[in-house]
Amino acid sequence: MRYALLLCALLFTATMSARADKIKTSEDLIRAMQQKYAKSWYKTLTFKQKTTEFHEDGTKKESTWYEALEVPGRLRIDFDPVTEGNGVLFANDTLYRFKDGAQADSRPFVHPLLVLGFDIYFMTFDDVIKKLKDLKFDLSTLREDTWQGRPVYVVGAKQGDLHSQQFWIDKKNLYFVRMLGPAGKDGKLTQETQFNKYFKVKGGGWVSPEVVFMIDGKPRTTEEYTEVRTDVPLDDKLFDPQYWKTAHWR
């Protein structure tokens, strides 16, 4: 029995080393992520979200959001109370805002967190590369580091650079954990996003129930997810701006 356990451990270590040896470029990393989860990652996700906003004067505001996601590239956020019809929609590489049940405005927008946290497993390789380049990530730079005690791959920045546009991927599980980049009108501030406390869901994908947004190391917004469900049927109308007021998932 002891020999069998030792053999399994050696085989696992050899497999991990072989996979790591194959990841030499950002392109290698993206291919590895897609190969690992293309058949197992969930295609829809819904949850209730506690949103906490931290203000400069030390006060904070808490609110409840209800979110529905469908990959690739579609995310609906309804602000509580849902009956008032306020929220935002990400679809068709566009951000739509709604107030009192009507569309207030829209603008072109590719959501980097959707791409890195979810869409990357379902888009074609070429489309992923294009979107990441359009988002100003330098794919020619790949290195290894440690984040929250775990080995990670870092794309877009060299050792010691915590300001340039970059994203961090957990080395073992190949999911997104961190993004940093310039912020503010002059780009001198540093914005940071963390996906924390991952847990595995039925089918093989993962969910990060805590998301933290920071500016220059200070928390600005935190998100806590509850009532998480994956691979639930969702109506296409949920992600169509013209049906914002009439389509609901809860």
State pLDDT tens for residues 13-71.
444 444 556 999 999 999 999 999 999 999 999 999 999 999 988 899 999 999 999 99
Per-residue pLDDT tens over the stretch 147-197: 999 999 999 999 999 999 999 999 999 999 999 999 998 999 999 999 999
Percent above pLDDT 70 for the chain: 92
The Cα angle at residue 224 between residues 219 and 227, in degrees rounded to 5: 170
Q: Which residues contact 207 (CB under 8 A, 6 or more apart)?
A: 45, 47, 198, 199, 201, 225, 228, 230
State residue 68 phi and psi, 5-degree precision: -135, 130
Contacts of 181 (CB under 8 A, 6+ apart): 136, 163, 164, 165, 166, 190, 191
DSSP character string of 159-194: TT--SSSEEEEETTT--EEEEEEEESTTS-EEEEEE
Show me where the domains of the chain are located.
Answer: 23-135+202-243
The partner residues of 167 in beta bridges, in order of sequence, read 155, 179
Residues in Cβ contact with 94 at an 8 Å cutoff, skipping those fewer than 6 apart? 106, 107, 108, 109
Q: Contact at 8 Å (CB) between 223 and 197? A: no
Q: In a 3-state reduction of DSSP, which class is residue 65?
A: strand
pLDDT at 225 over 60: yes
Q: Specify the fold of 23-135+202-243.
A: outer membrane lipoprotein receptor (LolB), chain A (2.50.20)
| pLDDT reported for residue 146 | 98
Amino acid 203: pLDDT: 84
Query: Model's pTM, two decimal places?
Result: 0.90
User: Distances from the Cα of 222 to the Cαs of 33, 147, 218, in angstroms?
Assistant: 26, 19, 11
Confidence (pLDDT) at 176: 98
Question: What's the mean pLDDT in 72-78?
Answer: 97
Q: What percent of the chain has pLDDT over 90?
A: 87
